[in-house]
Each structure stands twice: as structure tokens, then as C-alpha cells.
A and B are shown apart, each in its own frame.
Chain A
Amino acid sequence: MSEVQTNYTVPVGPLHPALKEPIRVDLEVDGEEIVDADIVVGQVHRGIEWIGTNRNNFVQNIYMAERVCGICNICHPFAYIMAVEKAAGIDPPPRAEYIRVIIAELERIHSHLLWAGVAGHEIGFDTVFYLAWRVREEILDLIEYITGNRVTKAMFQIGGVRRDITEEQLPRIRQSLEYYKSIFSQLGDIFLKDPTIIMRTKNVGILKKEDALKLLTVGPTVRASGVPKDVRVDQPYSAYADLDVKAITPDMLTGTVVGDVYDRIIVRLLEVKQSIEIIEQCIAEMPSGKILAEPKMAKLLNMLKKAEGEGVARVEAPRGEDIHYVRLEAGREGPAAWKIRAPTYVNFIAIPTILKGGQIADVPIAFASIDPCQSCTNRAVTVDRNTRKKTSLDYEELHRLSVEKTRRLE
């Protein structure tokens, strides 16, 4: 009798439901169970570092950094300007540091709420998706009120920020924060006590503490595995050095650490609450004074052109540690070297470990649980290893499998 092939490879992507940008995942499956997974990236490599060092000047790079990612468009310019400031020896005024932190925390709230909606959608719980995104509108309105834009905020400048937060704006900010405080217990009930969410997320996509550390994961992914690693706490930068922030791990709420998708929900939810507290503290303690170290653009660019040195800056983005390395050489309009490492870069390395042993229907939620900063699955193709015959599984099909699993469990 000839040997029967039991393992098949299922490529998911380059366009995938749990992702906002293209990536391909090749799943090796035995029936419904995932035996192994491999990740193929590079579909959206835009050569940003190359453009930043070959074409742009220092200030143009801030806006370039803002466009690395649509959701984390604060953490990239934040890390970039801090790296340049370190290399060139520029000290931003304290008021600017507080404004930077307020904007960064507003971004964290909007990013975590966006993720909560996507996670609800992935398991076929669209009511949660609509609710989370409706709630998120409030923070987007607030961001628009403060910065003038909903998405790309263009707030940062080397040596400070471009817009001040005035006394007249504070009541509107407080009003939004009060709104979130008033609905927080409701959000907690939905995300942590709903039986459907519990069934689909508990003991799914487990990442053990040791694996999380070995595979260099960062942000809520590593914190949900029980490691209190948070740049805002470990190596406080900007105004975080004045504030008292604690790294959030799931055992603060449940007393245990499993490292599954449910734990990642807990961490993100508690971080929304923490961000509100940080913003309130910043508003209360914000020093007065100027917001830019050097308001004259020509003078700033000239100073940077003469500067020499290197700097590395780390920022806690909503998805984890974001690091920028910048090297300045005298006589150059822009940096001589620029290296960006976004948090998803390292979180992706843990994806095979998270998916292994799970089911195909759990792929969307397990994948989404690291909150990958990439794009959306339109199709998946199953390949029969023997015949090389391809069967197309489109996004709807994969999504339907996930929704059916939820129905089965109910």
C-alpha cells in the first residue's frame, strides 16, 4: 500500500483577513491541525530607509517616518526625532515633552480600540466590532480637535512639537476622558465576561514566557506572556521619566498568566485605562513655557547639517518597542544612516509558535492577537502536495470557517 499523504500546505495571503497589509503565511496542516507555519514578508517593502538617507533632509524624514504605518504614525516620528536630538545634542523644552506623551497615549487608546473591534470581527462577533469602533470615534474626534487631523497628525518637530495644547482646549479633552471612564466597566464586561469571546480566545494561540523571550517579542504580546517589559517603565524617555507608569501583565487581573489571546485582550484593555490616567497626570503637571527649542527652520536645518554623531531611541508603540538608529555626518542634508525596527518585525517571528497546534479556524484570531501592523486577507490557496492542485479559499471562506466555529461552540 502506498504511503498516504496527511500533511498539506495552506498558504494564507499575501492578502489576509487579520492583516491590514500584505504578508504570506504558509501553514502546514494535518487535517484541521496546524503542524508548522512559515512567514514570507516583503510584499510592501518600500525602501523607506533608503529614501530617508538618499533623498530627504532631516525635517522631510519626520513626515516620511509618519507614513511608515497609518496606525502608529506617532511612535515612528517620535523615535526618529528623539534619535536625531540625541545625535545632534538638542534638548526639547519640557512642555513639548508632555505634549508628545499626551499625543502618544491618545494614539495608544485609538490603536487598542481599533484592535478590539478587529478581534471581534475575526471571531464573527460583529456587534462587538461595531461597538468598539463607535466608541473609538470619540478619541478620533479628540485627536482631530487637538492636532487638526484624524490620522497623520504632523505634531512633531526636531526640538519640540508644532502645536501647543492651550488652556481653552482642556475642558474638551477632559470631557472625552470622562466618557471613556464612564464606559470602561461596560467594555470590560463585553471583552472579558462574554461567553463567546471567552470560548474563542481562552487557551488559543498560547505563547509561553520562555518562547516569548527567546523569540524577542515586544509590547502587549510579551506582557501577556508574563514579562513586565515596557520601554515607558524600563527606560523612561521624554516626560515618562517624570511619571509613574507600571507595566501591565494579565496576572494583575486574573492572578495567573496563560499567554493566550484572552490574556492579550486583558493587557490591551487595562492599557487603555492606564493611558487615560497618564494623560490626566500630564495635563495636571504640564509645565508652561515654549514648545520648540529652535523655531526657525533654516537655522535648525543648518545646525543639523553641521552636527556629527549617532543616536538610538526607543519608544513604546501600541504594539511594543519601536527603535530608530540615526547617524549624522557633517555636510549632509539628511542622515547618513537610518535604521527602523517596528514592533511587528519581531512579533512576527513568534507567529509560527503561536499558530502551531491550533486549528485553521483559529488562524484569524490568533494572528490578529499580536495586532500585526500589516494589511487584509482577500484569499488563501490550499495546495495539494502530491498533485500540486490548487484550491482557492478566499477571505470569505476563511472568515466563514472562523464564524462557524463560534456557532458550533455556542
Chain B
Amino acid sequence: MEILSPHEVIDSFNTALGKGVVDTRIDEQIIGVKKSVLMSLWIHVNKDSFRAAVEHICRLQEYPHLAIISSYDLGDDVELIYHFTIYYGQSRQELSLGLRVQLPKDDLKIPTVTDLIPGAVWTERETQEMMGVEVIGIPDNRRLFMVDDVPEGVYPWRKDDKKLEKLLRVLPGRQPKRDK
């Protein structure tokens, strides 16, 4: 396996995806007394190129490590970041790669990556129940953390979700928020 530098990784993404890459960023941080440089990569791809981007990561590293999918409500869109690491197992060579994709709220769908990375199923289930992003082709469609008595269509990570407020137990001294 050939180890590419962060700049070469970005170049390889541009070659593989062309216009599918929206934005790229390299964060550099200097740490320790010996001033070692720690680099991390952020690659923003558009929705249609998402699968191709994950397939490209699988070409860079045989079994890429997907730590977690973090999601954030931007208002009109939902942003998902797939936190990958590649080139692990080699001293000071590992690279953090955040693969960012934005989905419009009226079409919250993302293809599954479990066929390429089987261990991704838990984090996909969590994203599905907490953010309401439908994962197309997920092998296990059950809830992960949320209990069954929470009704369908309640997504705690969404900022526009008012239904959750009604479910919160009203603690002494706390009034439930009312819609204005």
C-alpha cells in the first residue's frame, strides 16, 4: 500500500471525482516540545458523488476506519461528516479524513456504506433515528439507542423539532417551551 501525503490525497480525490468535490481543507497543528506537525483533512463532496468518494477511500486504504458519523442541522440542510482514518497501524502516518456531505431537508436520503464497511451499521442506525436521515439499503433498520415508546418522527438532533419538547419531563421550576 502506497502512502500518499495529504496534498496527494486531495489531488487523488479531484482526479477521481472531478466536479463532485465541493471544497477541501487541510488543518495543521503544531504539537509538543519537538514541534511535530499533525495534519487532518476535510473533504466536502456533493450528494451525488458521496458513494464514489467512499469507494475512493476504500481504494486508498483496504479497510478504512470509520470512527463515527456526526450530523449537524444547518437550517435548510443537514450536514453529515463521516470521520475516517486511513493509513493506521504505521507510526505517525495515520491521517484523519472528514468526509462532509450536505443533504437538503426535503430529501434526507443517503446511500448505505455497510457493503463496503460492515461495521458502519451502528452509526448509520444512530444517524437515522436521531437526525431523521433515511439510509437507503441499511441491512438493519431497527432503532439503536431510542426506546420504542418514543413515537415515530421525533428526531432529537434536529433544531427545528418541537415535538421533543412535549416529551421532556417537566422538572420542578422548569416550564415547557410554547411555540410562539
Enumerate chain A interface residues (CB-CB to B < 8 A): 41-42, 45, 47, 50, 86, 94, 97, 210, 213-218, 227-229, 231, 233-242, 247, 285, 287, 312, 314, 321, 323, 325, 327, 336-337, 339, 341, 345-346, 348-350
A362 to B121, CA, bound (A): 26
Known: A215-B118, A325-B70. 13 other contacts (CB 8 A): A97-B31, A214-B119, A216-B120, A231-B94, A234-B91, A238-B31, A242-B33, A242-B34, A312-B96, A323-B83, A337-B70, A341-B123, A346-B119
A287 contact set on B, CB distance < 8 A = 33
Residues of B within 8 A of A214 (CB): 63, 117-119
Please state if B83 and A312 are interface contacts (CB–CB under 8 Å): yes
The segment from B10-18, B103-111, B139-147 found at the interface with A is B139-147
Q: Closest A-chain residue to B98, C-beta based?
A: A312
Say yes or no: A321 contacts B89, CB within 8 Å: no
The answer to whether A235 and B96 touch across the interface, beta carbons within 8 angstroms, is: yes
Docked Cα-Cα span, A247 to B93, in Å, equals 13
Measured between alpha carbons, how far is A231 from B98 in the docked complex, in Å? 17
Residues of B within 8 A of A285 (CB): 33
Q: Which residues of A contact B94 (CB under 8 A)?
A: 231, 234-235
> Closest CB-CB distance, A178 to chain B, in whole Å?
26
A236 lies within 8 A of B143 (CB): no
Establish whether residues B92 and A236, one from each chain, have CB atoms under 8 Å apart when the complex forms.
yes
A236 to B96, CA, bound (A): 12
User: Is B26 an interface residue, CB under 8 A from the partner?
Assistant: no
Given A215-B118, A227-B89, A234-B88, also A341-B68 (CB < 8 A): yes
Ordered by A's residue number, 8 sampled pairs between the chains whose C-beta atoms are within 8 Å are A216-B66, A231-B94, A234-B87, A235-B38, A235-B96, A241-B32, A323-B68, A341-B67
Q: Which of A94, A229, A233, A349 contacts B32 (CB 8 A)?
A: A94
Q: Is the CB of A94 within 8 A of B83?
A: no
Q: How far is the CA of A75 from the CA of B69 in the complex (A)?
A: 20
* Contact present for B32 and A97 (CB under 8 Å): yes
> In the complex where A229-B89, A235-B92 touch, is A349 in contact with B29 (Cβ < 8 A)?
no
Q: Is B8 an interface residue (CB 8 A)?
A: no
Q: Are A94 and B89 in contact (CB under 8 A)?
A: no
B175 CB-CB contact with A under 8 Å: no
Assess the A234–B93 pair: CB atoms within 8 A: yes
CB distance from B33 to the nearest CB of A (A): 5
Supposing A42-B143, A234-B92 touch, asked if A215 and B32 sit within 8 A by C-beta, the answer is: no
User: What's the Cα separation between A240 and B31 when bound, in Å?
Assistant: 9
Contact B34 A241 (CB under 8 A): yes
Given contacts A214-B117, A345-B122, A349-B119, contact A239 B89 (CB under 8 A): no
Question: Which residues from A are CB-within-8-Å of B81?
Answer: 325
Distance between A336 CB and nearest chain B CB, rounded to angstroms: 7
Q: Is the interface of B mostly helix, strand, loop or mixed?
A: mixed
B27 lies within 8 A of chain A by Cβ: yes
Is B156 part of the binding interface, using a Cβ–Cβ cutoff of 8 Å?
A: yes
Decide if the interface of chain A is mainly helix, strand, loop or mixed. Answer: mixed
Report, nearest first, the 8 A-B pairs whose CB atoms are least far apart. Answer: A216-B119, A234-B94, A241-B32, A339-B70, A213-B63, A341-B68, A42-B145, A241-B36
How many A-B contacts at CB < 8 Å in the complex? 120
Output the least CB separation between A88 and chain B (Å).
12
Please report B residues at the A interface, Cβ cutoff 8 Å.
Answer: 27, 29, 31-34, 36, 38, 40, 62-63, 65-68, 70-72, 81, 83, 85, 87-96, 98, 117-123, 143-147, 156-157
In this complex, what residue of B is CB-closest to A309?
Answer: B27
- Contact in complex: A234, B96 (CB < 8 Å): no
Cβ–Cβ contact A41 & B145, under 8 A: yes
Smallest beta-carbon distance A281→chain B, Å: 12
In the bound complex, CA of A240 to CA of B36 (Å): 10
B174 → A minimal CB distance (Å): 11
Nearest-CB distance from B161 to chain A (Å)? 11
Inside 8 A of A213's CB, which chain B residues have their CB?
62-63, 65
Contact A323 B67 (CB under 8 A): yes
In the bound complex, CA of A2 to CA of B174 (Å): 61
What residues of A have a CB within 8 angstroms of the CB of B85 in the complex? 234-235, 314
Is the beta-carbon distance between A346 and B29 smaller than 8 angstroms?
no
Inter-chain contact B88/A229, CB cutoff 8 Å: yes
User: In the complex, what residues of A have CB within 8 A of residue B38's CB?
Assistant: 235-237, 241
- Point out which of A97, A215, A241 has the most chain B C-beta atoms below 10 A from its C-beta: A241
Question: What are the residues of chain A within 8 A of B29 when measuring CB–CB?
Answer: 86
- A235 vs B84: C-alpha distance when bound (angstroms): 13
| Residues in B whose Cβ lies below 8 Å from that of A97 | 31-32
Cα of A236 to Cα of B94 in the assembled complex, Å: 9
Q: How far is the CB of A112 from chain B (nearest CB, A)?
A: 21
- Once bound together, how far apart are the Cα atoms of A130 and B40, in whole Å? 45
Residues of B within 8 A of A327 (CB): 72
Minimum C-beta distance from A8 to chain B (A): 21
**Chain B hits for A227, CB < 8 A:** 88-89
Contact of B32 with A238 in the complex, beta carbons under 8 Å? yes
A193 to B99, CA, bound (A): 47
Closest to B73 in A: A337
Please report the C-alpha to C-alpha distance between residue A227 and residue B98 in the assembled complex, in whole angstroms. 23
For residue B97, give the distance in angstroms from its CB to the closest CB of chain A.
Answer: 10
The listed residue (B63, B98, B156) touching A47 by CB distance below 8 A is B156
Partner of B72, one of A45, A337, A341: A337
Residues of B within 8 A of A349 (CB): 119, 121-122
